[in-house]
Amino acid sequence: MKKRKFNAMDLSLLCHQMEQFIKSGVSPLEGIPEISEEISNNRLKKTMELISKKVVEGASLYQAFSEAGRFPDYMLQMIRIGELTGKLDTVMEILSNYYENESDLIKEKKNAITYPIVLLLLIIGIIGLMIFKVIPVFIEILQGLGGQMPQEVQLILLFSIYLNEYIIWVPAILVLIVIIIKLFGITKIGKYLLDGYKIKNPFTGKLNRKIISYRLGMGLALATESGMNLIDSFNLAKILIENRYVAKRLDEVSEKINDSEPLSDAIKSTNIFSELFSSMIKTAEQYGTVSDTMKKLTRIYGKEAEVSIKKFRKTLEPTLVAILSAVLGIVLLSILLPIIGIMSSIG
């Protein structure tokens, strides 16, 4: 059974604690048991005790955290890079800030989506009440008085009869569709296509590309700062990318730079990264300032991703509210106008 991972705020606090003991010169053998004693989350406490035991047995931090099976791949790969480059304290600081921002993002998404969902449920309830309760009553009154139903009302009545008869199949069909999508999503081709959609869709694609640029730039900055050449740094940094579609394109980049093509040109050919990203890498290649350039890129894309997330939240809520309000207005008008026609025929 797949182990449940920890939430973003737990990870942020854990990385902050690890950053502090590494910067103070305390070894993981001494620091991790101390962290375990201070943790209040029982599940995280037991996991850190297991990691402490693995480290005592001679495992690296990357191996110990991987075997625990409760941490995201991005965190594991960053720890691996930190150990390989000797920048573990810097990595922990980056991870702490990253998961703190991710925690804030999750809260903003929940706040942005909760209100429209409540509104949608309310609208569905109102529409259902009108179709199944209100309209039949007016139709009975009209027929009792000898009035003639307008064509619109006849259509709504026919729709309500069919809907009432087959309503039980709607949840079953929806569940079946969800199951099919889930099963397709766990296949290799399904994961690949879904990851491709994540960076290409017009709604969140640009934001996801910025986050990928941020991660790749961070990996390149850490690796080149430790003295690695650009090609080795890229091959190490690309493991931070969890998106399968992008990972495949980055493998193609590796093949091109192994064939002596400049990294900037190979990156540009993917059509994933922005012109700014490839241009700054080209400048770094020419002047040998890869580490500093990557740090600047990381700051730029980190800030842009944060701004995009806030814009997304501010745009999502009013957009959904406007769409749902328009749908409600159309449905109410389609019901009220025929009712007015009924009253006129009675007159």
Residue with tokens 């309310």: 122
Answer whether residue 106 is part of any domain: no
Length of the chain: 347
Structural domain ending residue among the three candidates 45, 71, 99: 99
Percent of the chain with pLDDT over 70: 83
pLDDT band at 126 (very low <50, low <70, confident <90, very high): confident
pTM across the whole model: 0.70
What is the C-alpha radius of gyration for the chain, rounded to an integer number of angstroms?
28
pLDDT at 71 over 90: yes
User: Which one is predicted more confidently, 344 or 86?
Assistant: 86
Residue 83 sits in the same domain as residue 123: no
The answer on pLDDT for 156 being more than 80 is: no
* pLDDT for the residue numbered 15: 93
What CATH code is carried by the domain that includes residue 77? Answer: 1.20.81.30
Q: Identify whether residues 61 and 177 lie together within a single domain.
A: no
- Same-domain status, 273 and 192: yes
Residue 55, domain extent:
8-99
Tell whether 72 is covered by a domain.
yes
Same domain, 178 and 298: yes
Name the pLDDT band for 342 (thresholds 50, 70, 90).
Answer: low
pLDDT score of 307:
78
Of 133-137, 212-216, 236-240, the one with minimum mean pLDDT is: 133-137
Q: Are residues 194 and 143 located together in one domain of the fold? A: yes
Give DSSP secondary structure letters for 199-243: HHSTTTHHHHHHHHHHHHHHHHHHHHHTT--HHHHHHHHGGG---
Among 104-113, 148-157, 241-250, 314-323, which stretch is predicted with the lowest mean pLDDT? 148-157
CA 141 distance to own-chain centroid: 53
pLDDT at position 54 is 92
- Do residues 65 and 146 share a domain? no
pLDDT digits (tens, 9 = 90+) for 12-61: 999 999 999 899 888 888 888 888 888 888 899 999 999 999 998 999 99
CA 59 to chain centre: 32
First-to-last alpha carbon distance for the chain, in angstroms, is 69
26-47 as b/e: b if 16+ CB within 10 A: eebeebbbebbeebeeeebeeb
For residues 130 and 260, membership in a common domain is answered with yes
Highest mean pLDDT of the ranges 189-198, 293-302, 321-330: 189-198
Distance of CA 16 to the CA centre of its chain: 23
Q: How many domains does the chain have?
A: 2
Kindly state whether residues 27 and 169 are assigned to the same domain: no
pLDDT of residue 195: 93
pLDDT of residue 50: 92
CA 239 to chain centre: 18
Confidence of residue 251 (pLDDT cuts 50, 70, 90): very high
CB 68 within 8 A of CB 47: yes
148 lies in the same domain as 239? yes
Asked whether residue 345 is assigned to any structural domain, the reply reads yes
More confident residue, 139 or 186: 186
For residue 267, what pLDDT band results from cuts at 50, 70 and 90? very high
Q: Is residue 85 part of a domain?
A: yes
Residues 265 and 336 in one domain: yes
Domain closes at, from 99, 132, 153 = 99
Which among 38, 64, 99 is the end of a domain? 99
The amino acid occupying position 151 is Q
Please check the confidence at residue 249 and state whether its pLDDT lies above 90.
yes
Same domain, 85 and 137: no
Per-chain mean pLDDT for the chain: 82
Does residue 121 form part of some domain?
Answer: yes
1 confidence band (pLDDT: 50, 70, 90): very low
Task: Write down the pLDDT at residue 102.
Answer: 76
Domain assignment of residue 262, yes or no: yes
Residues 94 and 125 both lie in one domain: no
- Confidence at 220, pLDDT banded by 50, 70, 90: confident
Residue 70 lies in a domain: yes
- 20 domain residue, yes or no: yes
Highest mean pLDDT among 116-125, 186-195, 329-338: 186-195
- What is the arithmetic mean of pLDDT over 245-260? 92
% residues pLDDT > 90 (the chain): 22
